[in-house]
Amino acid sequence: MLTAVIILTCIVILLLIMLVSYRRQIKKICRQIVFMKENDTNMKIWSSNNVRELNELEEEINNLVREYKSISLSLKENQNNLKNTITYLSHDIRTPLTSLDGYFQLLLESHDADEQKKYETIIQKHIKNLKDMLEELFTYTKLQNDNYKLEFEKMNFSKLVFETAFSFYNDFEQKNLEPEVRFTEEQLYIYGNEDALVRIIQNLIKNALVHGDGEVGFRFEREGDNAVFCCYNQVNHGENVDVSHVFEQFYKSDPARTRTSSGLGLAVAKQFTEKMGGSITADFVDRQFCIIVKFPII
């Protein structure tokens, strides 16, 4: 009987020791959590014990902390992107709006029919530029949504390239430019979204029109199993162009010359291209800036 009492007493004492140790470890973990909440630190929860349950608790808490930090960094990045977006858009939209206001005043004050017609043409141009900028922003915003999906179908890439490039005939004529064109006669088909593909081609050509200093050209051909469209233009001040950043939103090599641009055209082209399983790259060689888009042929 005495032996049983002694054994039971030892067991109770052991359990009390374990309970005290558990309580100390839990309090230690709580103190560490409070410290991590109040301070920006990369510290992890830890305790000097060999208890499997406590070790699992520490690991799960550390996983939650890592996930929280990742979400927090993502939120901060999104907030910074939003601030940058508002800053850039405020500047870019204010420019055509200011011009519109000025030309409207001139139109109202003018009594000459020819002069009024000139002002109307300029006003229409500024309205179109503003509309294009807002449309580009709307498209870019949609592409930031992970749930945004494109509907794919078999498309004649050759036909779309030719038709889209030809639609800019008047734009090139107004700038006294005759683009160099090298298109394969082979009909190349890809799998993708027609509206997105047209937007990609348009944005590349618009970029060449806005930033080109003279020579502009297009190349469309087969390279192995890929259909390749290249849009290139001459740039006299290539030192201002950083090809590693041209696909970033709001990137402008020379802000003073791009007030009719949203700075989103190439970023939108890149995201559309990648959503359709293609690749897009930029290169600058001998004063010639070239953007190359590739899609697998089907």
Contact between 218 and 182 (Cβ < 8 Å): yes
Q: Distance (Å, rounded) from C-alpha 47 to C-alpha 8?
A: 30
Q: Distance (Å, rounded) from C-alpha 92 to C-alpha 255?
A: 10
Query: What percent of the chain clears pLDDT 90, i.e. is strictly above it?
Result: 22
**Tokens at residue 47, please?**
């305790």
Please report which confidence band the pLDDT of residue 226 belongs to, taking 50, 70 and 90 as the band edges: very high
Please report which confidence band the pLDDT of residue 258 belongs to, taking 50, 70 and 90 as the band edges: very low
pLDDT score of 257: 44
Q: Distance (Å, rounded) from C-alpha 210 to C-alpha 135?
A: 17
Instruction: Give burial (CB, 10 Å; 0-12/13-18/19+) of 7.
Output: exposed
Domain residue spans of the chain = 2-72, 83-143, 153-296
Residue 33 scores a pLDDT above 60: yes
pLDDT score of 256: 45
Q: What is the DSSP letter of 241?
A: -
Domain 153-296 has CATH 3.30.360.10: no
Of 58-67, 185-194, 243-252, 267-276, the range with the lowest mean pLDDT is 243-252
Q: Average pLDDT in the 201-211 region?
A: 87
CA atoms within 13 A on the CB side of 204: 29
- Kindly report the average pLDDT of the chain as a whole number: 82
Query: What percent of the chain clears pLDDT 70, i.e. is strictly above it?
Result: 87
Q: Distance (Å, rounded) from C-alpha 264 to C-alpha 207?
A: 10
Q: Distance (Å, rounded) from C-alpha 100 to C-alpha 125?
A: 10
**CA dist 197 to 5, 71, 102, 273, Å?**
85, 33, 37, 8
Sequence letter at residue 131: K
Q: Distance (Å, rounded) from C-alpha 27 to C-alpha 286?
A: 67
CATH number of 83-143: 1.10.287
Whether 83-143 shares its CATH topology with 153-296 is answered no
